[in-house]
Amino acid sequence: MSASAFNKVRTRIAPSPTGFLHLGTARTALYSWAFARHHGGEFVLRIEDTDVARSSQDSVDQILAAMHWLGLDYDEGPIYQLQRLDRYREVVDRMLAEGTAYRCYTTPDELNAMKAAQEARGEKRRYDGTWRPEPGKVLPPVPAGVTPVIRFKNPLDGDVQWDDLVKGSISIANREIDDLIIVRADGIPTYNFAVVVDDWDMRISHVFRGDEHVNNTPWQINIFRALGAPLPQFGHLPIILGDDGLKLSKRRGAVSVTAYADNGYLPEAMLNYLSRLGWSHGDDELFTAEQMVAWFDGSHLSKSPAQWDPAKLDWVNAHYIKQADDSRLASWLVERLGQEGLNVSTERLAPMVRLYKDRCATQLQLAEWVRLHFVRPEISDADRAQHLTDAVRPAVQALAQRLDGLQAWDATSISAAFKACLAEFGLKMPQLAIPVRVLACGRSQTPSVDAVLALFDKKVLVERLQAY
């Protein structure tokens, strides 16, 4: 895949700061980043903030934080569209002078009435070209007090055709395309115009984006051609479906990158999982970002919608948690537990991480395991009735006494105390270990009980057992 008219592969991601970084946008960013890195090119971050009413600095901050968390480093940016208004005006003035754009004085009310009448006649709703200049055409008198919009003079004949990197060949007749508003009455450029000027100026060679933009592409291609600008190659990615089979949206579930970061997912796991939502490399399921860069040449992109699968994400994340450095996970837990008022050191948590991480799909689950060492657990009525019987109480009390008297506090010494109590009371290990697990941890199943107990403060553990 070549850069065609460009001397270097350059891709971009251009989110609107009207909310958090959506998972779909994150996938697009990942593909754009990996493609650029694969080809030794450059990746640009652009903030499309011309929707002044809905854009916010908080959203910008969240987008930047999400990009940083994912490790999607960019070579240029962030570039803000609102800082480029002079450039857009310059291009518009040129287009007006060259006759590829024109001023339109049709008011919003007139436009609505026009389209309503078209609909009543069974016609396609569109601007009727009242103010479109044509040879020999006499335009209406300019109405007083009306600030015009600027429309692009779209070609009337021929087709717009491009070879989509995902969907293959696409062709749309120009007669089906309206004369697009490129500058609003307030002077702010519209998306389809600004994005063309931006991609032109920034020498963007390849554009990956969601397939909701397929219908925008003919307009943009025609504007590129009107400006004499080189055309990037376009690749339109299918949507991501939620686990309910509907389009992944903000209205249903957590779809922001930062939400998954807060919920204890690792960035390398999220990148790995996102990459497989519309792209594949043979049967490989687990791979690093470096491997993806080596493989991602723009081929093997799926034309079909991807299915978001929370269980699959948990499986991928569990893999990376198992591989993660204990101190790294412990550092995350220090901050998380600190938010709950629990001040615990990384050194204290690292051995707990080592013991529990193989049982966890997320760092939040890991936090649940670790927390039980510092906060007295709630014991369910079912566990209390089944495991904390009067029959085992004497053995538990005896074990508490033996543990309290231990000089060495380690798994070996704790195991020896268990064995002594089992012999004394004629019990098998589960008969004593399970009640102890419930009292100490609030759950009947844990890793090896002596290893778990060794991570407790001895005084805290003995008190929990004696409270039985």
Supply the mean pLDDT for the chain.
94
Residue 2 scores a pLDDT above 50? no
Q: Tell me what pLDDT residue 4 has.
A: 56
* Whole-prediction pTM: 0.91
CA distance 79 to 16: 12
Mean pLDDT score, 174-200: 95
Phi, psi of 117 (to 5 degrees): -65, -40
User: What type of residue is 31?
Assistant: Y
Q: Tell me what pLDDT residue 468 has.
A: 82
pLDDT digits (tens, 9 = 90+) for 310-330: 999 999 999 999 999 999 999
Q: Tell me what pLDDT residue 50 has.
A: 86
pLDDT digits (tens, 9 = 90+) for 249-290: 765 555 889 999 999 999 999 999 999 999 999 999 999 999
pLDDT digits (tens, 9 = 90+) for 381-390: 999 999 999 9
pLDDT digits (tens, 9 = 90+) for 428-464: 999 999 999 999 999 999 999 999 999 999 999 999 9
pLDDT digits (tens, 9 = 90+) for 350-393: 999 999 999 999 999 999 999 999 999 999 999 999 999 999 99
Q: Do 163 and 114 contact (CB within 8 A), yes or no?
A: no
Q: Tell me what pLDDT residue 246 has.
A: 83
Q: Tell me what pLDDT residue 255 has.
A: 80
Q: Do 237 and 209 contact (CB within 8 A), yes or no?
A: yes
Helix, strand, coil percentages in the chain from 3-state DSSP, rounded to 5: 50, 10, 40
pLDDT digits (tens, 9 = 90+) for 46-85: 999 988 888 999 999 999 999 999 999 999 999 999 999 9
Q: Tell me what pLDDT residue 242 has.
A: 86
115: which 2 tokens?
């389209």
**Catalytic site residue from 124, 153, 247, 250:** 250
DSSP string, 18-80: SSS-BHHHHHHHHHHHHHHHHTT-EEEEEE----TTT--HHHHHHHHHHHHHHT---SEEEEE
For residues 374-413, b (16+ Cβ closer than 10 Å) or e, as one string? eeebebeeebeeebbeeebeebbebbbebbeeeeeeeeeb
Q: Tell me what pLDDT residue 253 has.
A: 57
Q: Tell me what pLDDT residue 252 has.
A: 56
Mean pLDDT score, 186-207: 96
Using CA atoms, how far residue 274 sits from 132, 167, 352, 454, in Å, is 45, 20, 30, 39
CA distance 191 to 182: 8
pLDDT digits (tens, 9 = 90+) for 201-229: 999 999 999 999 999 999 999 999 999 99
Q: Tell me what pLDDT residue 254 has.
A: 58
Q: Tell me what pLDDT residue 359 has.
A: 96
User: What type of residue is 435?
Assistant: P
Q: Tell me what pLDDT residue 251 has.
A: 59
Q: Tell me what pLDDT residue 1 has.
A: 45
Residues in CB range of 450: below 8 A, 6 or more apart = 411, 412, 414, 415, 418
pLDDT digits (tens, 9 = 90+) for 233-252: 999 999 999 878 888 876 55
Residue 407 scores a pLDDT above 60? yes
Using CA atoms, how far residue 423 sits from 98, 118, 393, 395, 400, in Å, is 98, 92, 15, 10, 15
**419 catalytic, yes or no?**
no
Q: Tell me what pLDDT residue 437 has.
A: 97
Residues in CB range of 198: below 8 A, 6 or more apart = 14, 46, 79, 81, 84, 204
Residue 3 scores a pLDDT above 70? no
